[in-house]
């Protein structure tokens, strides 16, 4: 769902200067979230916009949203003041945190032409996945703030309803995906995402509407899987592609994905990235969110 910011709220936010955030370990401090909420809830139409955002992420048929913050980005630039506003919107959904102790709260995702093309900072197709798939407590939400799109016009984000894709599978395939037969990636130097989960089931057996679809298409090429389990995962991958939606993030667009409902990825960047100066290449900022205790996938 695309969410435009009402002009009256935009004007108030441009004049708003939120304080620097503080962290409590890996997580945004409760004192910071309280201060942000106190300052923003009195701005016109903020509460209504935040409610629309939460509903689009957790309501019936929802699972992702794009906050159109482009006018704010133009007015403020994309540095500290703007990032604090984006963080305040995120805190209306869940608790912002960084699972990577070597990175700040917002992690840069730029473009590296010599990187594995399928990685988030690569130039190729980044197949459907959930972030930190091999943690026992993956982030409930992953978010991407667009600073610069690909100047050559490539790299649209792709999203797919994971639960809907699973529902289209055969009963035999769902049974295989529920078995702890899958593994992917490494696990070290991480905060707030539990322990390493290896092997793991793609369908985790939680009550309907609560669990994750622990999937990354990369494990089909980079993990040793038995034929039956690999075939079931490929069937799911095909259904995710069949049900995908595509959108091109513009400067200031803030994509928030409920990882309990949707998986995400990216189409390849346009050819010719080597000729684009590093300072002009696509740049996103990533932030993760943890649902508040007792609320499952809701805020």
Are 297 and 150 contacting, i.e. CB atoms less than 8 angstroms apart?
Answer: no
Query: How many other C-beta atoms lie within 10 A of the C-beta of residue 200?
Result: 19
Are 187 and 265 contacting, i.e. CB atoms less than 8 angstroms apart?
Answer: no
Burial class (CB in 10 A: 0-12, 13-18, 19+), 249: buried
| Interval 260-289 mean pLDDT | 96
Structure tokens at 130: 């959930």
Half-sphere exposure of 67 (CA within 13 A, CB side): 31
Q: Is 177 a member of any domain?
A: yes
Owning domain of residue 90 = 2-290
- Dump pLDDT digits (tens) for 59-96: 999 999 999 999 999 999 999 999 999 999 999 999 99
- Dump pLDDT digits (tens) for 219-247: 998 778 899 999 999 999 999 999 999 99
Q: How far apart are CA 56 and CA 216, in angstroms?
A: 24
Higher local confidence (pLDDT), 141 or 209: 141
Q: Is 240 a member of any domain?
A: yes
Collapsed DSSP state (helix, strand, coil) of residue 247: strand
What is the 3-state composition of the chain as percent helix, strand, coil, each rounded to the nearest 5? 30, 20, 50
Q: Is 297 a member of any domain?
A: no
Q: Is 295 a member of any domain?
A: no
Higher local confidence (pLDDT), 117 or 158: 158
Structure tokens at 286: 């990533």
Domain count, the chain: 1
Query: How many other C-beta atoms lie within 10 A of the C-beta of residue 284?
Result: 25
| Interval 26-42 mean pLDDT | 96
| Residue whose C-alpha is closest to residue 197's, from 218, 217, 212, 176 | 212
288: β partners: 97, 142
141: β partners: 258, 289
- Among residues of the chain, what percentage have pLDDT more than 90? 87
- Range with lowest mean pLDDT among 131-135, 149-153, 181-185, 236-240: 181-185
- pLDDT, position 299: 40
Average model confidence (pLDDT) across the chain: 94
- Which ranges of the chain would DSSP assign to H, the alpha helix? 7-14, 30-40, 46-58, 70-76, 80-91, 162-167, 171-177, 219-222, 227-242
CATH number at residue 178: 3.60.130.10
Q: How far apart are CA 83 and CA 133, in angstroms?
A: 26
Q: Is 298 a member of any domain?
A: no
Contact partners, residue 278, CB within 8 Å, separation at least 6: 110, 111
Structure tokens at 178: 């529920």
Confidence at 118, pLDDT banded by 50, 70, 90: confident
Q: Is 250 a member of any domain?
A: yes
Q: Is 215 a member of any domain?
A: yes
- pLDDT, position 224: 83
What is the pTM (predicted TM-score) of this model? Answer: 0.95
Q: How far apart are CA 297 and CA 299, in angstroms?
A: 7
């Amino acid at each position: 769902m695309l969410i435009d910011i009402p002009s009256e709220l935009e004007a108030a936010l441009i004049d708003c200067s939120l304080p620097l955030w503080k962290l409590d370990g890996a997580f945004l401090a409760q004192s910071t979230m309280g201060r942000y909420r106190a300052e923003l809830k009195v701005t016109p139409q903020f509460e209504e916009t935040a409610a629309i955002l939460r509903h689009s992420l957790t309501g019936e048929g929802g699972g992702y949203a794009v906050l159109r913050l482009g006018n704010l980005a133009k007015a403020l630039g994309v540095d500290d003041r703007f990032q604090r506003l984006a963080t305040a919107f995120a805190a209306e959904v869940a608790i912002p945190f960084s699972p990577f102790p070597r990175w700040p709260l917002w992690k840069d995702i730029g473009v590296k032409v010599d990187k594995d093309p399928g990685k988030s900072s690569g130039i190729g197709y980044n197949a459907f996945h959930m972030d930190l798939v091999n943690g026992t407590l993956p982030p409930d939400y992953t978010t991407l703030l667009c600073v610069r799109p690909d100047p050559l016009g490539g790299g649209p984000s792709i999203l797919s309803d994971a639960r809907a894709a699973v529902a289209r599978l055969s009963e035999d395939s769902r049974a295989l995906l529920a078995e702890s037969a899958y593994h992917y990636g490494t696990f070290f130097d991480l905060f707030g995402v539990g322990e390493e989960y290896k092997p793991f089931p793609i369908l985790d057996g939680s009550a309907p509407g609560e669990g994750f679809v622990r999937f990354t298409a990369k494990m089909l090429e980079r993990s040793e899987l038995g034929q039956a389990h690999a075939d079931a995962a490929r069937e799911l991958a095909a259904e995710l592609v069949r049900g995908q939606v595509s959108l091109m993030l513009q400067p200031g667009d803030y994509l928030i994905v409920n990882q309990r409902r949707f998986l995400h990825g990216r189409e390849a960047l346009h050819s010719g990235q080597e000729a684009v100066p590093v300072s002009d290449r696509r740049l996103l900022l990533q932030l993760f969110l943890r649902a508040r205790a007792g609320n499952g996938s809701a805020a």
